[in-house]
Amino acid sequence: MQKKYLMTPGPTPVPAEVLLAQARPMIHHRTPDFSAILMECIEGLREVFETEKSDVLILSCSGTGAMESSFANCFCAGDTVIVARNGKFGDRMVQLAKAYGLTVVDLAYEWTETVKPADIAVALAANPGARGVVVVQSETSSGVLNDVEAIGAIVRGYEDCVFIVDSITGIGAVPCKTDEWGLDVVMTGSQKGLMLPPGLAALTVSPKAWKAYERSTLPKYYFDWMKYKKNIEKETTPFTPPVSLIIGLAESLKMMREEGIDNVIARHSRLAEATRKGCEALGMELFAPADGRGSAVTPVWVPEGVDGKAIVKIMKNKYGVTIAGGQDDYVGRIFRVGHLGYFGEFDIITTLAALEMTLAELGYVFERGAGIIAAEAVFMGE
C-alpha cells in the first residue's frame, strides 16, 4: 500500500468533512432545503471574495467557463479589450477574447515577469475607448502574482471600462479585496482554494460590470449572468446545479469561516515561504520573480543535468507525492509544488522529503536534509 499526497495547484485535496457532506442522500434542487444551502453558499462566497457591493454567481463549470462568461456578458463584437498575460491562463484569455470577435490589445510578458501597472495605464491612454482590462491575478502556470490592486486603481478612472480578474488560484490563497480594490469581475474555481472537486465556478459582478452587461450584444444562454441573478433573488438556480458539489461548498466555506479568511491567507503565505526556502536550501532556483510570488504554487527551475520529467514521475510512482510539471515551453524545465487549499505544514515537509530522495536518486548533489530543515525553520518562526 502507498499513501498518496496530492500536491498540485488543482485539483487540490478535499477535506474529509467536505467529502462526507457530498455523500449525503440526494435532495431535489427545487426545494426549501436546497435553497437554504445555496444562499448559505452565496453569503459565504461574499466573505471569501470580500464584497458587499457585487453580486455573487455560482456556475456549473470549471474556471474556464467563468472566464468565457465574462467575455460573453461584458462586451460586444469588435470591442477593444486590453489583456495582460504572463502565463498559460493569460494566453487563454487572449484566445477567448478573439473567439468572441473582440479587438485585443495584447500586453505579453515573459512568464518570469509580473504585469506592470504602468503598462496598463499607457495602454488605456492609447486606447481610451477600451471596454475592458483583463488580468490573471495568480498565474497557476508560473506562480507569478500580479498587482491587481494597483491596476484596479488605474482602471477605476475609466467609467466604461471593466476590470476582469482571473483569481482562480488566488481566492483563498492571497488577498483579493473585490470592493476595496475596484475589481469588477473576479472568478475562482471549486478545485482550488475552495477545497472541492472540480465542477463549480464562482464569480462577482459589480454595478459597473452590470452596466457593461446591459450594452453587451454577444450571444449567451447557459452563461447569461442575468438568469443567475434573477434566480438567486428567488433563492434558486436557472438550471439543474451539481447539488452534491454545492452541499460540499457549504461545508468548505464553513471551514474557511471558522479559520477566518485572514488566517487562511496567512497559512498559505507560510506554506509558500517554507516551500521556497526548502527548495532554495537544496541549491535550486525559484521561477517566479522575488517581487511577484504568489502563495498558491511554487514553480522551481529543474537543476542543470537533471531530467525534469523524471522528477515528477519518480515522486508520484515511487513516493506517492504528485506534483505538477511545467507547461508549454517549460515542460521538463520547471516543476511546480501546489499548496493551495487543504494543506498544512507536514504536507510541505513530506513533499520536500520526497523531492530530496528523488533528486538524490537522479544524481543531483546537495546537502541531504537541508530542505526539510529550512522549511521547519519557517514553521517554527526561526
Q: Is the dihedral of CA 311, 315, 318, 319 positive or negative?
A: positive
Contact 10, 338 (CB under 8 A): yes
What is the residue-wise DSSP string for 71-140?
HHHH--TT-EEEEEESSHHHHHHHHHHHHTTPEEEEEE--TTSPPPHHHHHHHHHH-TT--EEEEESB-T
Angle at 348 between CA 344 and CA 353, to 5 degrees: 145
pLDDT tens digits, one per residue of 332-367 = 999 999 999 999 999 999 999 999 999 999 999 999
- In one-letter notation, the amino acid at residue 364 is Y
Domain ranges of the chain: 5-10+260-379, 16-258
Q: What is the mean pLDDT of the chain?
A: 97
- Give residue 195's pLDDT: 98
What would the grid cell of residue 27 be? 435532495
Interhelix angle 308-319/345-361, rounded to 10 degrees, is 120
HSE toward the beta carbon, residue 352, CA cutoff 13 A: 31
- Give residue 382's pLDDT: 85
Question: What mean pLDDT is predicted for residues 190-201?
Answer: 98
- Overall residue count recorded for the chain in this entry: 382
User: Edge-to-edge, what's the strand order for the sheet holding 201-205?
Assistant: 55-59, 201-205, 185-189, 162-166, 132-136, 80-85, 103-108
Q: What is the torsion angle, in degrees rounded to the nearest 10, for the CA atoms of residue 80, residue 292, residue 364 and residue 278? A: -140
- Give residue 133's pLDDT: 98
- Give residue 1's pLDDT: 87
**Distances from the Cα of 65 to the Cαs of 49, 69, 273, in angstroms?**
18, 6, 31
pLDDT tens digits, one per residue of 117-162 = 999 999 999 999 999 999 999 999 999 999 999 999 999 999 999 9
- Assess whether the region 5-10+260-379 and the region 16-258 belong to the same CATH fold: no
Domain 5-10+260-379 listed as CATH 3.90.1150.10: yes
Please give the Cα distance from 320 to 357 (Å, whole number): 12
Please give the Cα distance from 44 to 255 (Å, whole number): 10
pLDDT tens digits, one per residue of 1-46 = 899 999 999 999 999 999 999 999 999 999 999 999 999 999 999 9
CATH number for the 16-258 domain, one of 3.30.365.10, 3.40.50.300, 3.40.640.10, 3.30.56.10?
A: 3.40.640.10
Question: pTM above the 0.85 mark?
Answer: yes
Please give the Cα distance from 97 to 37 (Å, whole number): 34
DSSP-based three-state secondary structure for 270: helix
pLDDT at 224 over 90: yes
Neighbours of 382 (CB within 10 A): 8
User: Edge-to-edge, what's the strand order for the sheet holding 297-301?
Assistant: 297-301, 334-338, 324-325
- Give residue 22's pLDDT: 97
Neighbours of 222 (CB within 10 A): 13
Percent of the chain having pLDDT more than 90? Answer: 99
Contact 85, 69 (CB under 8 A): no
Please give the Cα distance from 171 to 183 (Å, whole number): 13
Question: What mean pLDDT is predicted for residues 240-258?
Answer: 98
Question: What mean pLDDT is predicted for residues 95-115?
Answer: 97
Q: Is the peptide bond before 25 cis (omega within 30 degrees of 0)?
A: no
- The region, left, alpha or beta by phi > 0 then psi within -120 to 50, assigned to residue 36 is alpha
Non-local (6+) Cβ contacts of 265 within 8 A are 172, 173, 174, 175, 295
Question: What mean pLDDT is predicted for residues 295-311?
Answer: 97
Neighbours of 323 (CB within 10 A): 24
